[in-house]
């Protein structure tokens, strides 16, 4: 089993997950683009109870049911959290070893940046992922 370790740029916040993620996906919605400050949010989804976070984290609600967590010192976006579902999505860029990220699909591709070519053979969904 892989141990997923990561944290923020300055090292003030660290996280750990010692279980396999529920899924690993790439979201292209405008909310993620704005929140991450990039073309997409590549994230690993875990159950909240399976992730340990150490250090001070600031959060902001970006929708009624979604909180995003970041380091208040350096600003690194670390996760999105949906308490109603008991899930937390860890940003792949904050992993110590980002090569462990193995995406299984792209969703909200209708909002994909026009210059971005998706030719990795993964399933693509113009809206939300299938349930």
Counting other chains too, the contacts that 95-100 makes at CB distance below 8 Å and 24 or more residues apart are 95/4, 95/5, 95/6, 95/44, 96/5, 96/6, 96/7, 97/5, 100/2, 100/4
pLDDT tens for each residue of 67-99: 999 999 999 999 999 999 999 999 999 999 999
Domains of the chain: 4-113 (2.170.150.70)
pLDDT tens for each residue of 20-49: 999 999 999 999 999 999 999 999 999 999
Higher-pLDDT residue of 20, 1: 20
What's the full length of the chain, in residues? 131
Query: What is the spatial distance between Cα 78 and Cα 125, in angstroms, rounded to a whole number?
Result: 24
Both tokens assigned to 7: 């944290």
Q: What is the pTM of this model?
A: 0.93
Query: What is the spatial distance between Cα 90 and Cα 73, in angstroms, rounded to a whole number?
Result: 18
Both tokens assigned to 2: 């892989």
Please give the full DSSP string across 78-92, using - where no structure is assigned: EEEEEGGGTEEEEEG
């Amino acid at each position: 089993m892989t141990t997923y370790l990561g944290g923020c740029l300055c090292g003030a916040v660290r996280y750990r997950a010692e279980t396999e993620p529920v899924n690993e996906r790439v979201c292209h919605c405008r909310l993620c683009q704005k929140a991450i400050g990039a073309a997409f949010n590549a994230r690993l989804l875990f159950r909240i109870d399976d992730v340990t976070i150490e250090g001070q984290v600031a959060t902001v609600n970006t929708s009624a049911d979604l909180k995003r967590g970041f380091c208040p010192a350096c600003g690194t976006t670390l996760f999105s959290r949906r308490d109603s579902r008991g899930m937390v999505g860890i940003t792949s860029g904050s992993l110590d070893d980002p090569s462990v990220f193995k995406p299984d699909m792209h969703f909200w591709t209708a909002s994909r940046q026009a210059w971005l070519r998706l030719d990795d053979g993964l399933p693509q969904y113009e809206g939300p992922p299938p349930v």
